Structure 1
Amino acid sequence: MSFDYLNHPYASQKVTTIAKNGMVATSQPLAAQAGLDILKKGGNAIDAAIATAACLTVVEPTSNGIGGDAFALVWVKGELHGLNSSGPAPKSISIDKVKEQGHTSMPTHGLLPVTVPGVPAAWAELSKRFGKLPLSEVLKPAIDYAENGYPISPILGKNWKVSFNRFKEIFQGDEYKNWFDTFAPNGRAPEIGEVWRSPDHASTLRSIAETNAESFYRGELADKIDQFSNAYGGFLRKEDLADYQPEWVDPIKVNYRGYDVWEIPPNGQGIVALMALNILKGFELKEKESVETYHKQIEAMKLAFVDAKKYVTDPKKMSVSVEQLLSDQFADDRRSLIGDEALTPEPGTPPSGGTVYLATADGEGNMVSFIQSNYMGFGSGIVIPGTGIALQNRGHDFSLDSDHENALEPGKKTYHTIIPGFLTKDNEAVGPFGVMGGYMQPQGHAQVIMNTIDFHLNPQAALDSPRWQWSEGKKVSVEPGFSPHIAQALARKGHQIQIALDGGSFGRGQIIWRDSVSGVLYGGTESRTDGAIAAW
């Protein structure tokens, strides 16, 4: 793959990083450096990904934690492997039991939306199958930062304060006390530059490292999670943790203009990006800064989203197949609906038949696309006493309508927002990419891929380019740097355009591309956060 490395206007804030021996790209400099340190100690890209991910639970707790879920795409020896480490709903929960507590929809916070965490299992599974160094060595940087502390970076500090100010108003029950004890020990969010440490977090990471995560699912940590959940009316039990195993899955793809774009299959929403690209490949889009280009991108994404929200859930429970949703016939049918005016999307009928992202690469050709999250920032607001474990709230996405495809059921996995991406061409790795951020993620994936393939932008330029985000109906938010005349032209087509003056939530991405001939690595990191690339 070739890129335009000249002074492109969208790459004005940062330049693409180029290296040969190894690279780590993520949203926090200390975590990126931790991954690089592991590479220099003899670890491979998989070890570096685990080290970076574990470090991110410490140095960016506003977006992820030990009690969250994870997904990975791993390129090793010419083959792409997929890991789904998302957890199911507890076996004892049900729609009726949730409604008996007075809820008409799944709550956002508290113990009810807590599902089985998959993050520690992901680390252990990746290390066992592909790692070179022991997990105890790989988790040392994260343990050190948790034990000895680190200074709060700018975007982290801002997000932490926003969360604290919101939580102090809505978290009233005793079950939330441990969140404040852990993340606001001085009665406030830590300030930018202030050193924050979490010794309980360090002890938990050490236990996970020494037992290859067994303590989390079948040992002392599982006991603590069970006891707290039981004491405060939650449904998660030690049996749910003990029965959990991450799943190796076959990645799914579409071919987009000669490149294969890969995602994790459902229950993840990566299929949204693939369905949108499958629609868009039927159009000839020559110019990036064109009203027609943006119009078609938005319309394709709307159609892909409404179809996914109708059909995507735990793959064992889906009424249609991935093959149906990604079929050319279905893409043709959906593409035919796109005209000159913005439409209000409705689901089609297929033919019968708070998140962190990181990318790593090493000098041997191994590459990892990894994502983990607690959801909505800090997650459920539940922290298990004495552990630093902040539990996720993934169950919030379940429906309490028993007829809905994503209806809550015991032991079922919900529709999941976090998605890693990977790009190949002619069965050779181009590399990992991702854009974290809730329902922005597949929209970011499609925009980054089109910036790369259609418009020939280098990794940093592809990330820096102003983004748009569809939310519902005809509502579309655009970043302040988005072209005003194109925004006005889109409005004339019926799109309800809003300029997000507060910064909005347009995702935070990372990219590493590899030259298949020279092995040289080209990286881009996110200018919308404390993004950094560590390389050598």
Structure 2
Amino acid sequence: MAYPRKPLFAPNGAVATSQPLAAAAGLAVLRRGGNAVDAALATAVALTVLQPPSNDIGGDLFAIVWDGERLHGLTAAGRSPAALTREMVLAATGRRAAEPVAALGGAQARGPAMPARGWLPVTVPGAPAGWHDLHDRFGSLPFADLFTDAIGYAEHGHPVSTGTAIGWARAVAGHAGLVGAEFAEFERVFTVGGRAPRPGERWRNPDAARTLRRIAETGADDFYRGRIAEALDAHAARTGGLISGDDLARHTSTWVDPVSARYRGHEVWELPPPGQGIAALLALNILDGWDPAGADPVERLHRQVEAVKLGFADAHAHVADPERAPVPTAALLDPAYAAARRALLTERAGDPVAGDPERGGTVYLCTADAGGMMVSLIQSTYLAFGSHVVLPGHGFALQNRGTGFRLDPDHPNVVGPAKRPFHTIIPGFLTRDGAPVGPFGVMGGHMQPQGHVQLLAGMLDAGLDPQAALDAPRWYWHAGRTLLVEPELAARPGLVAGLRARGHEVAVAAEPSVFGYGQALWRGAAGWVGGSESRIDGAAVGY
């Protein structure tokens, strides 16, 4: 039989993430006297080297920080190139500007989508600036000291972990069909003789080591205004990219106030748009008005699925860059609106029209220190290796976050210049009566809001500790009435039959990446209680 993981108990500080060496990098910083933000940054930078299919120097970052008194949110997401237009995308993909494109969400089906690879979906990387901005406000150790482990693993190599190797192999197989000058560097950097590195095989990226060293020494300024920026500008100009040195120089992160919803006597916090965290809050608002006492497992799961569907429908209809389009965040989170949406739930599976985003490549981490500071941080290049555009001589891939734009000219998230697209990556945080409980997150594109709902239901409805809640079997809704469940969930007597009787088209999926990968840290009576994803190479460590 398989024995479930036990939770981590740590009296002083803790780190949880999807790669053990990255967790160890964060823990080393805590033991050197660094705070939770220092540890989060050391972990995040190391993850770009240790899990490059999921995140890289050329990606974005979102974070929530509890500083000991209040929450702070950071949106370190880049904007599209100033030269990018909808007409340009339509021309490049063979469509006409007058061609009708269905809106995402509401009562219409999803229409033609942005391309997923190459230069068109590339947006300005926000992660390096995010590292600097988090450190500038909250860090305690020297910025350059937080890069030590990442640079060492890039320069001298590290054995690739099993879960990372599996995703890497899928991405390399998909890369084989990409043709163009912008893709030429990928194979040299991210393959071993044309194949992905195998589990346990040592892999090096000396180009990334040099890039990280420049970022560490210049506080990320070199990435946006120095030699790295010049190299990126020149490479784009040579190979048909739109991103420019001016786009990089204009980049800024944004400090934001997290938004919340009530659930079972707690406050659940997410970042506001352009992220999809509001989908989780919408679902939780709907579920909080329903008493699960006495409900059987079929009823509980059915209600969760239907609430998630409504949350996604609203998020995909309204979420956009709030700097460029009005987003009715307050109205969506109003209790009266939640009550109206709750009234739509019936005993039958609904079929709302919502988005069809692809499953993404993302890493999530959370940290806590002896002083009570906590961090919930997520970073990503979106789909595995993002755009597959690699900057020659610098060892990193650029994200394809522009895939999150829409082509409908009437949609608030329509593609255009200098805009942030709809984002899937969302860090979460839980408080109770204003007091911190802890950070949590579940990575995996479309899975993330529904992963948040399931993780919180496990802890707050079923009373599970963070590790047990993460180990609990999950479900995944993608579109229509199709519902994927893990084998352990399908094995529960009567559950699948009961769901099918309500109209759900249930299928069993054994692929763990479909169901996301999560981490959580909770403040306990004697320190920290942590959990880390058992579906991949996750680790929760502390001291």
In the superposition, the TM-score normalised over structure 2's length comes to 0.93
Which residue of the partner structure matches residue 492 of structure 1? Answer: 501
Q: 1:264–1:270: 8 Å Cα contact kept in structure 2? A: yes
Which residue of the partner structure matches residue 3 of structure 1? Answer: none
The aligned amino acid for 1:70 is L
Equivalences, count: 518
Find the partner of 1:148 among 134, 147, 156: 156
- Structure 2: unaligned runs, 5 residues or longer: 96-112, 355-360
The aligned amino acid for 2:143 is L
Query: Is structure 2 residue 142 aligned with structure 1 residue 118?
Result: no
1: CA distance, partners of 2:295 / 2:134: 38
1: CA distance, partners of 2:69 / 2:138: 14
Which residue of the partner structure matches residue 238 of structure 1? Answer: 245
C-alpha RMSD of the superposition? 1.4
2: CA distance, partners of 1:193 / 1:346: 43
The aligned amino acid for 1:130 is F
Find the partner of 1:19 among 10, 33, 45: 10
The aligned amino acid for 2:277 is G
- Please give the per-residue CA displacement for 1:185-244, whole angstroms capped at 9, x wherever unaligned: 422111111100100000000000000000000100001111111111111111011011
Which residue of the partner structure matches residue 63 of structure 2? Answer: 72
Which residue of the partner structure matches residue 533 of structure 2? Answer: 526
Instruction: Indicate the SS of the match to 1:43.
Output: coil
1: CA distance, partners of 2:334 / 2:483: 27
- Please give the per-residue CA displacement for 1:244-279, whole angstroms capped at 9, x wherever unaligned: 110000000011121010000000000000000000
Instruction: Indicate the SS of the match to 1:124.
Output: helix
The aligned amino acid for 1:37 is A
Instruction: Indicate the SS of the match to 2:519.
Output: strand
2: CA distance, partners of 1:392 / 1:380: 5
| Change in CA separation of 1:502 and 1:510 when aligned onto 2, cut-off 3 Å | closer
2: CA distance, partners of 1:48 / 1:207: 20
Q: CA deviation at 1:132?
A: 0.4
Instruction: Indicate the SS of the match to 1:156.
Output: helix
Paired residues for 1:164-313 under 5 Å:
164-168=172-176, 170-286=177-293, 290-313=297-320
1: CA distance, partners of 2:299 / 2:458: 15
2: CA distance, partners of 1:102 / 1:511: 41
Q: 2:466–2:522: 8 Å Cα contact kept in structure 1? A: yes
Find the partner of 2:30 among 39, 53, 57: 39
The aligned amino acid for 1:331 is A
Which residue of the partner structure matches residue 328 of structure 1? Answer: 335
Q: 1:303–1:334: 8 Å Cα contact kept in structure 2? A: yes
- Please give the per-residue CA displacement for 1:437-477, whole angstroms capped at 9, x wherever unaligned: 00100000011011111110011110011111111111111
The aligned amino acid for 2:224 is Y
Which residue of the partner structure matches residue 29 of structure 1? Answer: 20
Identity over aligned pairs, percent: 49
Find the partner of 1:84 among 65, 75, 99: 75
Q: 2:40–2:375: 8 Å Cα contact kept in structure 1? A: yes
The aligned amino acid for 1:106 is M
- Please give the per-residue CA displacement for 1:365-399, whole angstroms capped at 9, x wherever unaligned: 00000000000111000000000121000001111
| Change in CA separation of 1:89 and 1:95 when aligned onto 2, cut-off 3 Å | same
Q: 2:48–2:55: 8 Å Cα contact kept in structure 1? A: yes
Q: CA deviation at 1:287?
A: 6.3
Q: CA deviation at 1:319?
A: 4.0
- Please give the per-residue CA displacement for 1:345-377, whole angstroms capped at 9, x wherever unaligned: 158xxxxxx100000001010000000000011
Q: 1:151–1:192: 8 Å Cα contact kept in structure 2? A: yes
The aligned amino acid for 2:366 is A
| Change in CA separation of 1:80 and 1:336 when aligned onto 2, cut-off 3 Å | same
The aligned amino acid for 1:395 is G
Q: 1:286–1:454: 8 Å Cα contact kept in structure 2? A: no
Q: CA deviation at 1:289?
A: 6.2
Find the partner of 1:56 among 42, 47, 51: 47
Q: 2:444–2:513: 8 Å Cα contact kept in structure 1? A: no
Q: CA deviation at 1:288?
A: 8.2
Paired residues for 1:432-443 under 5 Å:
432-443=439-450
Instruction: Indicate the SS of the match to 2:21.
Output: helix
2: CA distance, partners of 1:122 / 1:178: 26
Which residue of the partner structure matches residue 4 of structure 1? Answer: none
Find the partner of 1:421 among 424, 428, 438: 428
Q: 1:288–1:455: 8 Å Cα contact kept in structure 2? A: no
The aligned amino acid for 2:318 is Y
2: CA distance, partners of 1:366 / 1:503: 32
1: CA distance, partners of 2:346 / 2:465: 31
Query: Is structure 2 residue 373 aligned with structure 1 residue 382?
Result: no
1: CA distance, partners of 2:439 / 2:257: 16
Instruction: Indicate the SS of the match to 2:496.
Output: helix
Worse overlay, 396-405 or 60-69? 396-405
Paired residues for 1:464-483 under 5 Å:
464-483=471-490
Query: Is structure 2 residue 128 aligned with structure 1 residue 137?
Result: no
Q: 1:69–1:117: 8 Å Cα contact kept in structure 2? A: yes
Instruction: Indicate the SS of the match to 2:515.
Output: coil
Query: Is structure 2 residue 416 aligned with structure 1 residue 409?
Result: yes
Worse overlay, 184-193 or 382-391? 184-193
2: CA distance, partners of 1:214 / 1:456: 46
2: CA distance, partners of 1:442 / 1:307: 13
1: CA distance, partners of 2:541 / 2:512: 26
